[in-house]
Structure 1
Amino acid sequence: MSILWAAPGQGAQYPGMLHQLPDDPLIQACIAQASAALGEDMLALDSSQALQSTRAVQLCLLIAGVASARLLIQRGHCPDYVAGLSIGAYAAAVIADALDFADAVQLVALRGELMQAAYPSGYGMTAVVGLELGQVEQLVAQVHSPVQPVYLANINADNQLVVAGSVAGMAALAELAKAAGAGAVKVLAVSVPSHCELLAAPAARLAEAFAKVNVCPPKVRYLSSSSARLILDADKLRDDLAYNMCRVVNWQHTLQTAFERGVRLHLELPPGAVLTGLARRVFKAGTVVAFQGARLDTLDVLLNQASRQDR
């Protein structure tokens, strides 16, 4: 039984998320390392006010994912696969020893700044539940225009899609989606239009910064949430990380790829359990669990059992 560690994306954040990580010296050391990399206190970034910033949100997500993974590794565990939804890919790359944590902190800080500067207001992301991909694509084509751009951004499940774009464009699409029978339409806690061509220019600038950073071939099998494929090459990983902000996330197919490759235990790293809910649709014959809310000794048992079965 192979094991996948999955890191969530923007929208999973909540106030106090770093302060609620396990009280362990290794966790504190990880937070301190991130603070040193930027010369600021990372624990000041998870307040309600601070989390209004895209930069703060993305840094908190990176730190939470890496810190919890390091704690599990210290306890003797190791994943067979890693994957991350959007910004979660950076935590996955660090866990796979492909990207130095301090470099990741600096790159994520820049990523958040570039995204926020490009669209400081008037844009975001909206989830549409209950419609199929073809239906949402038709609605996007119907609504999208230069004055109210809207794009398909995430394929999270067969009936859970996310669109990104202007507030006006998303509002127009939301009305059509409800009329078409959508079970729910929800504006997400994301203040930028991620995973569409609106972020192509910021992604290109981030790629320039990535060119100056050492990226290694992953030591743990890394699944791209954009292509839903395994990435083994350092340059391809560099491209995947730099440009994932402007590429559609296909999390549904990423999970399917993991399942087809023998993954039967899906562990979601902090914060939250959004990915756990999505994984239950794919891993019906396996086990899905979220780090958050689980006892460490319970996780030890699950991970040890899965490792023994894999052997």
Structure 2
Amino acid sequence: MRAFIFPGQGSQAVGMGKALAEASSTAREVFEEVDHALEQNLFQLMCEGPADELTLTENAQPAIMANAIATLRVMEKEGDKSLGDLCSYVAGHSLGEYSALCAAGALNLTTTAKLLKLRGQSMQKAVPVGEGGMAALLGADIKKASALAKASAQGEVCTVANDNDPTQVVISGHMGAIERAIAAAKEHGIKRGILLPVSAPFHCSLMGPAAEAMEEALAEASLLPPVVPVFANVTAGPVPDVNDIRNLLVQQVTGTVRWRESVGNMAETGVEQFVEFGGKVLTGMVKKIAPDAETVSLISMDDIESFLKDT
């Protein structure tokens, strides 16, 4: 069995998608549709930068999605196969869940781009810059990270945002609490805490205003049943129906990304190969969660052609 996985924020880089678009009209069509949906020259920003503008949450989120979906569409076109022929499950990390839903046909590309633009804008506006932060805890499992977050809160918000793999957990909340957690990391048996260069404290209760904005937008969005099951970040399991997809996407804004459990659960169901589209970060996490699984990262046309030869 095979699962297709889609990366989250941090996977953006100037030049992303450029070579693929030069090699494939299918990729170009994806980027053109996203530009049209957003009424923005996003693909030019992806190709040329500047990096600081591409990194802005409202740009990075739709850009990462567009790059991942372009890679998927090229692979489907070159292989003359549909998603259902190629994989048993899809999943994505944070914003990557939207990419996964788009890949599975639950959301069309235009809707996905607009939702992610709004999601990025809403998350940025939810907390004034500097009031919140996030930190990666290296050498931490979920138990140690949760204990550290609880001890560091001291009346402020400090909670687990991303349970990435058995050795890395990300926490999120008020900046003061995050700084206390970094300082106390070693006391809790954690190798190191690193403040992340993010503009807002994602996946914690401080994102409440963004969750409200997404609830309103998702209520009006057209969703279809996915052609293959989508594993949700909030539950670490397949989403039963369309209404659940809406509800879980809203909960995801303030909830923990249960990536370690999602990958572990897919592996337990028999997934032996995880294929990441448009990035390499998730495959590294997968190897720590399910060491026996095969991982493949598809970014270039050469990657796609090599994958299809072996499929």
- Which one-letter code corresponds to 1:144 in the other structure? A
Q: Judge conservation of contact 2:144–2:189 (CA < 8 Å) in 1.
A: no
Superposition deviation, residue 145 in structure 1: 3.5
> Structure 1 residues 167, 128: closer, same or farther in 2, change over 3 A?
same
2:289 corresponds, among 270, 274, 282, to: 282
Aligned to 1:18: 17
- Which one-letter code corresponds to 2:204 in the other structure? C
User: Residues 1-311 of structure 1: matches in 2 within 5 Å?
Assistant: 2-21=1-20, 23=22, 24-46=24-46, 47=49, 48-76=51-79, 77=81, 78-122=86-130, 123-146=132-155, 148-270=156-278, 272-292=279-299, 295-302=303-310, 304=311
> Structure 1 residues 21, 192: closer, same or farther in 2, change over 3 A?
farther
- Which one-letter code corresponds to 2:77 in the other structure? Q
> Structure 1 residues 265, 103: closer, same or farther in 2, change over 3 A?
same
Q: d(CA) in 2 for partners of 1:8 and 1:157?
A: 14
SS at match of 1:49: helix
User: 288-297 or 202-211, which moves further after superposition?
Assistant: 288-297
TM-score normalized with structure 1 length? 0.91
User: 96-105 or 135-144, which moves further after superposition?
Assistant: 135-144
Q: d(CA) in 1 for partners of 2:97 and 2:255?
A: 13
Q: d(CA) in 2 for partners of 1:165 and 1:12?
A: 22
Q: d(CA) in 2 for partners of 1:125 and 1:195?
A: 10
Counting aligned pairs with the same residue, the percent is 27
Q: d(CA) in 2 for partners of 1:187 and 1:300?
A: 40
Superposition deviation, residue 20 in structure 1: 4.6
Q: d(CA) in 2 for partners of 1:178 and 1:130?
A: 10
Superposition deviation, residue 256 in structure 1: 1.0
- Which one-letter code corresponds to 2:74 in the other structure? L
Superposition deviation, residue 182 in structure 1: 2.6
Q: CA deviation digits over 1:70-119, x for unaligned, max 9?
A: 11111234322100010000010011000111011111111111111112
Provide the alpha-carbon RMSD of the alignment. Answer: 1.7
SS at match of 1:231: coil
> Structure 1 residues 63, 28: closer, same or farther in 2, change over 3 A?
same
> Structure 1 residues 258, 209: closer, same or farther in 2, change over 3 A?
same
Q: CA deviation digits over 1:13-64, x for unaligned, max 9?
A: 2222233545311111100000111111112433212124110111111111
Superposition deviation, residue 261 in structure 1: 1.4
> Structure 1 residues 290, 120: closer, same or farther in 2, change over 3 A?
farther
Q: Judge conservation of contact 2:182–2:192 (CA < 8 Å) in 1.
A: no
Q: d(CA) in 1 for partners of 2:19 and 2:170?
A: 28
Gapped runs of 5+ residues in structure 2? none
Q: Judge conservation of contact 2:158–2:178 (CA < 8 Å) in 1.
A: yes
- Count residues with an aligned counterpart: 300
Q: d(CA) in 2 for partners of 1:155 and 1:289?
A: 21
Q: Judge conservation of contact 2:157–2:205 (CA < 8 Å) in 1.
A: no
Gapped runs of 5+ residues in structure 1? 305-311
Q: CA deviation digits over 1:110-136, x for unaligned, max 9?
A: 111111111241123211011232222
- Which one-letter code corresponds to 2:139 in the other structure? G
SS at match of 1:290: strand
Q: d(CA) in 2 for partners of 1:18 and 1:245?
A: 27
